Amino acid sequence: MRIIPRIDIKKPNLIKSIHLEGLKKLGNPAKFLEKYFQEGADELLIIDCVASLYDQKPKFKFLNELTKNIFCPITIGGGIKTLDDAIKILNSGADKIAINSEAVKNPKIIKKISDIIGVQSVVVSIEVKKREKNIWEVFIENGREPTGINVYNWVEKLNSIGCGEILITSIDQEGTGKGFDIDLCKNISNIANCPVISSGGAGDILHIKNIKTQTKTSGVALSKFLHIQGNNVSNIKKQLKLS
Amino acid sequence: MIAIIDYGFGNKKSLSLALREIGVPFKVTDKKKDIDEASHIIFPGVGDFGSAIFSLKKKKIFNYLKKINKGKKQILGICLGMHLFFESSEESTNHKGLSLIKGKIKKFTKKDIIKIPNIGWYKIKGNKKKFNKKFYFLHSYFLDKNKNTISYITRNKMNISAIVKKKNLTGVQFHPERSGIDGLEFLKNFYYNEF
């Protein structure tokens, strides 16, 4: 299982939210990225969490600066709407792009991008809120807009379109440090054809252990657990016997 | 100088950063003149096989590159770049590869590995020299271990080529530009030593 620090950005700061709201500024994201790379992160995930919401283009120049001293895989998301955006994101130092709002509004864009940059480099980010036991609704625009779509239907659709990875974020758990939504991660990693990264809720090493033993998740995205609680990636990998 | 072949897309940026970090001169290019002048050539990774071949044809360098292994230049193909060396890939039935090495790139099926693409850090093995280290893999297509394979990984009892070598051609399925210090060391070795 891969350990993936998640860097949510509201330019020029790394921010941390709770339930994707109430943004707390934590400072220069470049410092965090370089620290996690040095500590042996398997990959890094950078999400511009306001681009889609404010209908902004990805901030290519800024991303370029952030990634220039990093030599592990980087996924970048936020505000990607077109094939041209995706290519520019790769030219800004990313190896994979993550797409959420536009993918839901216009699913054809997923194949259009994959046909050029390769399906392995297209990560579809899914944000959900739990509605009842084993039912989750897909949200877009950084957790602001409900879509009425049941997450299972969306994942099945992605199975038929094809994508490189799914990043699943539980809005309910995000920023709480109370643990992942295990049922969600278990169900999504069971039905998805591609690898799944679980995000939202990590606050204790036990939470990550549970994900590792109880689900087919291929990677965990960590934010508060690292940025605020100050845990070291290398120690986490040792404790989980991943290194 | 290393010429990095420009398909018009891909992660040539990541590769450029890695080469800059190790202090190796390079140029991202699609011009025959630059490629002629380079001592080394890299076909970068990330992209679709058919789109890359189509792009090389459009740039009118496909036929030129088909003979690129005749000289003395050291040539490295990374992931998709390695796939382009072969005759064909299941990623695109419309386009033949550069056919510098015999063989066919296959697609993983659900039976082969549990989740497609294959993503992660794997320790490569089989190489008697010094690169039995962990490198980063990200791919849905692969080459079976064969006589050109000098390193491989095993996934679900399948042996997948990690490094292939034929004379001055070296192909790697993993991404050295994204494999931390060991990856940078690998690229340095490509430039300063003959593999």
Q: Collect all residues with Cβ–Cβ distance below 8 Å to A127 and sequence separation of at least 6.
A: A20, A100, A138, A139, A140, A142, A143, A169, A171
pLDDT digits (tens, 9 = 90+) for A100-119: 999 999 999 999 999 988 89
Query: How many Cα neighbours within 13 Å face the side chain of B139?
Result: 33
Q: Which of B20, B79, B8 is nearest to A71 (CA)?
A: B20
Q: Which of B83, B95, B139, B175 is catalytic?
A: B175
Length of chain A: 243
Mean pLDDT of B40-60: 93
Looking at per-residue pLDDT, the higher value among B131 and A8 belongs to A8
Model-wide pTM > 0.80: yes
- Residues A219 and A167: their CA atoms lie apart, in Å, by 9
Say yes or no for a CB contact (<8 Å) between B116 and A193.
yes
Preceding peptide of A73 cis, ω within 30°: no
Mean pLDDT of B62-69: 93
Mean pLDDT of B94-102: 94
Mean pLDDT of B41-49: 91
Number of Cβ pairs closer than 8 Å across A and B? 107
- Pairing of β A122-132 and β A135-140: antiparallel
Mean pLDDT of A225-242: 95
Preceding peptide of B117 cis, ω within 30°: yes
Secondary structure letter of residue B115 according to DSSP = S
% of chain A at pLDDT higher than 90: 88
Say yes or no for a CB contact (<8 Å) between B180 and A74.
no
Question: Which of A19-28, A148-157, B85-94, B128-137 reaches the highest mean pLDDT?
Answer: A148-157
pLDDT at position A187 = 98
| Residue A125: strand, helix, or coil | strand
Does position B66 have pLDDT exceeding 90, yes or no? Answer: yes
**Average per-residue pLDDT for chain A:** 95
B12-15: long-range contacts (C-beta < 8 A, 24 or more apart)? B12/A91, B12/B44, B13/A64, B13/A90, B13/A91, B13/A92, B13/A93, B14/A74, B14/A93, B14/A94, B14/A95, B14/B175, B14/B177, B14/B178, B15/B42, B15/B44, B15/B45, B15/B78, B15/B177
pLDDT at position A27 = 94
pLDDT at position B194 = 60
% of chain B at pLDDT higher than 90: 81
Mean pLDDT of A62-81: 94
Does position B195 have pLDDT exceeding 60, yes or no? Answer: no
Mean pLDDT of B125-129: 76
Q: What is the DSSP annotation of A44-79?
A: EEEEESSTTTTTPPP-HHHHHHHHTT--S-EEEESS
- For chain A, which residues lie within 8 Å of any Cβ of chain B, measuring from their own Cβ? 2, 37, 40, 42, 64, 67-74, 87, 90-96, 114-121, 164-165, 192-196, 216, 218-219
Q: Which of A8, A42, A165, A181 is catalytic?
A: A8
Q: Please indicate whether residue B175 is annotated as part of the active site.
A: yes
pLDDT at position B3 = 97
- Residues A192 and A162: their CA atoms lie apart, in Å, by 10
The domains located in chain A, with CATH, are 2-239 (3.20.20.70)
pLDDT at position B128 = 67
pLDDT at position A45 = 98
Bridge partners, residue A219, by sequence: A2, A197
Q: Which of B15, B13, B79, B14 is nearest to B45 (CA)?
A: B79
Mean pLDDT of A89-100: 94
Say yes or no for a CB contact (<8 Å) between A90 and B13.
yes
Mean pLDDT of B111-130: 85
- B24 Rama class: left (phi>0) / alpha (psi -120 to 50) / beta: beta
pLDDT at position B11 = 77
pLDDT digits (tens, 9 = 90+) for A126-147: 999 999 999 999 999 989 999 9
Which spans in chain A are helix H?
29-38, 60-67, 83-91, 101-105, 108-117, 151-161, 182-191, 205-214, 224-227, 233-239
pLDDT digits (tens, 9 = 90+) for B15-36: 999 999 999 999 999 999 999 9
Does position A6 have pLDDT exceeding 60, yes or no? Answer: yes
Query: How many Cα neighbours within 13 Å face the side chain of B181?
Result: 5
**Average per-residue pLDDT for chain B:** 92
With CA atoms as reference, the chain B residue closest to A38 would be B180
CA A118 to chain centre: 19
Question: Which residue shows structure tokens 């450029």?
Answer: B16
CA distances from B20 to A117, B13, B30 (A): 24, 10, 19
The domains located in chain B, with CATH, are 2-192 (3.40.50.880)
Say yes or no for a CB contact (<8 Å) between A116 and B48.
yes
Task: Choose the weakest-confidence range: A164-173, B97-106, B112-121.
Answer: B112-121
- Residues B39 and B101: their CA atoms lie apart, in Å, by 21
- Residues A152 and A92: their CA atoms lie apart, in Å, by 33
Mean pLDDT of B38-50: 92
- Residues A87 and B11: their CA atoms lie apart, in Å, by 9
Q: Please indicate whether residue B37 is annotated as part of the active site.
A: no
Does position B129 have pLDDT exceeding 70, yes or no? Answer: no
Does position A4 have pLDDT exceeding 60, yes or no? Answer: yes
Backbone angles phi, psi at B184, to 5 degrees: -65, -40
Mean pLDDT of A175-184: 97
Q: Which of A127, A137, A141, A165 is catalytic?
A: A127
| Residue B62: strand, helix, or coil | helix
ipTM of the complex: 0.91
Q: Please indicate whether residue B139 is annotated as part of the active site.
A: no
- pLDDT band at B177, cuts 50/70/90? very high
> Which candidate from B116, B120, B184 shows the least CB-CB separation from A194?
B116
- Residues B49 and B97: their CA atoms lie apart, in Å, by 8
Q: Which positions in chain A touch B9 (Cβ < 8 Å)?
A: 87, 90, 116-117
